[in-house]
Amino acid sequence: MKFSEAFEELQTLVKLMEQGEISIDDLAEKVKRANDLVEICKSKLRNAEKEINDVLQNSDENQKP
C-alpha cells in the first residue's frame, strides 16, 4: 500500500469517527484499522527518511576531496 493511499484512508476513518458516523459495533474494528494505517504511514516515513539520509551521506562523501 502506498503512503498516500494509507493516509487518505486514515483521514476518512478519522473524519467518520469525529462525525460520529461509525456505529459502536464497528468502532473497535475501525480503530484497529486506523492503527494499522498509522503504522504503515510511520514505516513509509522512516524508510523515506533513511533513503534520503543515505543519499545525502553518499553525496557528501562523493564531494570530499
Instruction: For residues 35-46, give the mean pLDDT.
Output: 97
In the prediction, which pLDDT does 63 show? 73
Give, to the nearest 10 degrees, the angle between helix 3-18 and helix 24-63: 150
What residues make up the domain containing 10? 3-63
Please give the model's pTM, rounded to 2 decimal places.
Answer: 0.79
- pLDDT beyond 80 at 44: yes
DSSP string, 4-44: HHHHHHHHHHHHHHHTT-S-HHHHHHHHHHHHHHHHHHHHH
Average pLDDT score over the chain: 92
Number of domains the chain is built from? 1
Buried b (16+ CB within 10 A) or exposed e, 31-54: eeebeebeebbeebeeeeeeeeee
Residue 3 parent element (H or E): helix 3-18
**Reported confidence tier of residue 65, pLDDT bands at 50, 70, 90:** low
